[in-house]
Structure 1
Amino acid sequence: MNRPELDYYAVLDVPRSATKQQITLAYRRLAIRLCPHRDKKDAQDFVPLAQEGRLSHLSPMAETKQWAYVNMAFDVLGNDLHRAIYDRYGEAGLFEGVMLPNGYFPPYQYHGNHMKVYESVFGSYSPYANVIDAITNPPSLFTSKYLGVGVRSKDANTEKIIQLSLEEVRSGCVKLMHVWRQEIVDAKESRLEKRKHTLKLTIAPGTTAGTRFCFKEEGDRYPATIPGDIIFIAADKPHPEFERRNLHDLVYRYDIDLSQALTGFIFFISTLDKRQLKIVITDVVQPGYRKVIPLEGLPKCRNLDAVTAIKEANKEVGQFGDLIIEFNYIFPTYLTPTMKSMTREFFREFHKLEMELQEEEAKNML
């Protein structure tokens, strides 16, 4: 962003405590003066009404720039989620994206179609269609029917599950999501066509299952309704070696035999980021025994104020979960009589030595 941050409330000339109706009313009054498609002949009939929306706070700028800023300001403040992000994080957070408790909010980008914003409020390409009713009795922006000012209902949201590998969760990634949606190809005839649309999805390191990524109003484009949101919900893809536990811990299971359980052993684990961990077990591996390797789990993804890229996200993630190693005992399925006899003899000698060791320790304690 190569300009100073805009104060959207100042652009619309409303206080920060303004209600949604007050913001919509302010936009309508400014639009009467600034809409480039206004008819000067009609404008003469609306001079007193138009003058209510005083423009002294924007007058130093060219009228085209005023019109652009007014529409951008309303596109943000007229949307509850965009307004909440702007109020808390400013334009920087709005344009860079933020990690929220219920999921990642992708970077906002103004579409640049000022008349799209205008028509969403007035329901007409004419800047004076039903304007008196709109000013004197402003309706709710979203409703289920036309109310004489062309206010449109919003389509239902579309939710899609996105499977993430643990490698993607470990390092973070950017995924291009291709969706098919209805788009208007002939506005006059209201002709629709299904077209492929690409959405950029930024996965922060440590993203947890159930995280929701919301793309506002990216659904089907129907003439009479506002597009619904497209929401991607993160889910863990099954992994052949690891399993996620407690959000950020990893579980690895290793098979051992009785000899290893009693005498110890060494083995290696290939991590999600392609390293080799050497694991040395010197303890007797009893039932329920676990080996915990600190900080070898998944990143602990916190609510970052601004996640601009995977590189920046990695700088903020300073903590990791643990790697928990659990052991499965593998017993032989068959022993010959000779093998059974050898095993009995071994454990007889083993228990004899164990008793002698305990007696020796008891004497040393006296």
Structure 2
Amino acid sequence: MNRPELDYYAVLDQPRDSTKEQITLAYRRLAIRLCPHRDKKDEQDFVPLAQEGRLTHLSPMGEPRQWAYINMAFDVLGNDLYRAIYDRYGEAGLFEGVMLPNGYFPPYQYDGDHMKVYERVFGSYSPYANVIDAIANPPSLYATRQHGIGVRSKDASTERIIELSLEEVRTGCVKLMNVWRQEIVDAKESRLEKRKHTLKLNIAPGTTAGTRFCFKEEGDRYPATIPGDIIFIAADKPHPDFERRNQHDLVYRHSIDLCQAFTGFTFFICTLDRRQLKVVITDVVQPGYTKVVPLEGLPKCRNLNAVTAIKEANKKVEQYGDLIIEFDYIFPKYLTPNMKHITRQFFREFRKLEVELEEEEERNMV
């Protein structure tokens, strides 16, 4: 990460060993003052007057910014899994994703829906939440001849896998996804027709597998329901030469014969951005030997807020993973008697020279 990490515990003014109930109560105390849809005169019904003058380190900020910070902090600390990831790996691990013993934890991304977080808490803890929220955010209603009058319920989300080639992950790209959905085609909302709709996906360089791209309420349009979300989930498309490892590293396998393994060799790799990378091996390539070329892997995708993303839109991404080269050995399929004799003779001479070198090194040490 190229930015300082946010201390979510400090945002809610709580120690790191706080219980979930203490975290929730701290969020309630702050949210009752900062929620833009709350009537200030009702604060006394929720918070003791003795606490009215209590200040936090967020106090110098404007209320809209404080409101955004406390909701993001509680969205993480109020979720047991997110909190465990944050406590162990910090904000970097939370935003970039980590490999857990039971599988991969994909990068976390706050959706920015502050009222969604607020309603999740005050729907249970506030005696007035439902009434006030219904006034501030009235439910969506429908009125049709076929279905009568009622409250619209939201359709289930639709999830689709989108495979990305490593070249697309390396450079980033824009994907235009065509979806077919039911749409209302007359003013009376009685006739539906299936039409094609195009959604635009901005794939950032280094996007990891499991990243979710959510298009809110872009599903089928029906008179009595709210359209569901369409979610695209990124997956890696198999590549003929490279394989992704540890999110940002690339693995390349190169085949060599025994002569090359003993004497060294030079070869070229065509990278994902079509450069010719020269690799020189002078070591003896033993089983398990790997060659690591720094900064020749995939770019490290960073989770940026809107302001930072705009400021860094034209900046080049300079953080990359590594290229890991592994080797496969090609053994001869057949040796003639003469070839076997020459091979034995070679290894006898080789062993003799090896012993002489060891003895010379011992004499020099004495």
| TM-score, with length taken from structure 2 | 0.62
> Displacement of 1:306 after TM fit?
2.9
Q: Is the 8 A contact 1:304 1:316 kept in 2?
A: no
* Alignment match, 1:250: 250
Q: Which amino acid aligns with 2:248?
A: H
Q: CA deviation at 1:315?
A: 2.0
Deviations 1:84-117 (A, max 9, x none): 69x87xxxxxxxxxx89435979xxxxxxxxxxx
Inter-partner Cα distance in structure 2 for 1:297 and 1:262: 28
Amino acid at match of 1:204: A
Quote the Cα distance in structure 2 between the aligned partners of 1:136 and 1:251: 53
**Local SS of the residue matching 1:186:** coil
What SS is found at the alignment partner of 2:338?
helix
1:17 aligns with 35
Query: Aligned partners of 2:233, 2:312: CA distance in 1, in Å?
Result: 23
Deviation at 1:335, TM superposition (A): 1.0
1:186 maps to amino acid: D
Q: Is this contact kept in 1: 2:181–2:220, CA < 8 A?
A: yes
RMSD between superposed Cα atoms in Å: 3.6
Higher relative contact order (CA 8 A, sep 6+): 1
Show CA shifts across 1:61-95 (max 9, x none).
xxxxxxxxxxxxxxxx9xxxxx969x87xxxxxxx
The residue that corresponds to 1:330 in the other structure is 330
Alignment of 1:133-212 (within 5 A): 138=135, 150-188=150-188, 190-212=190-212
Using the aligned pairs only, state the percent identity: 74
> In structure 1, the residue corresponding to 2:306 is in which secondary structure?
coil
Query: Aligned residues, how many?
Result: 255
Q: Contact 1:172–1:206 (CA<8 Å) still a contact in 2?
A: yes
What does 1:111-150 align with in structure 2 at a 5 Å threshold? 138=135, 150=150
Judge conservation of contact 2:142–2:224 (CA < 8 Å) in 1. Answer: no
Other-structure match for 2:239: 239
Alignment partner of 1:238: what SS?
coil
Asked which structure has the greater CA Rg, the reply is 1
Shift of 1:309: 8.5
Find the counterpart in structure 2 of residue 102 from structure 1: 108
Opposite residue 193 of structure 2, the aligned amino acid is E
**CA distances 1:191-231 after superposition (whole Å, capped 9, x unpaired):** 10000000110000000000000000000000100000000
Q: Is the 8 A contact 2:189 2:223 kept in 1?
A: no
Q: Which runs of 5+ in 2 are unaligned?
A: 1-31, 40-63, 73-94, 97-106, 113-130
TM-score (norm 1): 0.62
Q: Quick one: distance in 2 between partners of 1:135 and 1:315? A: 45
1:262 aligned partner, one-letter code: F
| Structure 1 counterpart SS, 2:315 | helix
* SS in structure 2 of the partner of residue 315 of structure 1: coil
Return closer, same or farther for 1:277/1:310 CA change in 2, 3 Å cut-off: farther
In 2, Cα distance between equivalents of 1:311 and 1:273: 26
Alpha-carbon distance in structure 2 between the residues aligned to 1:145 and 1:187: 13
Which amino acid is the alignment partner of residue 17 of structure 1?
C
Gaps of 5+ in 1: 1-13, 24-76, 78-82, 89-98, 107-133
* Alignment partners' CA distance in 2, 1:244 and 1:209: 10
Answer whether contact 1:266 1:280 (CA < 8 A) is retained: yes
d(CA) in 2 for partners of 1:312 and 1:138? 40
Distance 1:335 1:205, change over 3 A: same
Distance 1:253 1:314 in 2: 34
Match for residue 10 of structure 1? none
Please state whether the residue corresponding to 2:188 is helix, strand or coil.
coil
Give the distance between the partners of 1:136 and 1:142, measured in 2 at CA.
9
Residue aligning to 2:354 = 354
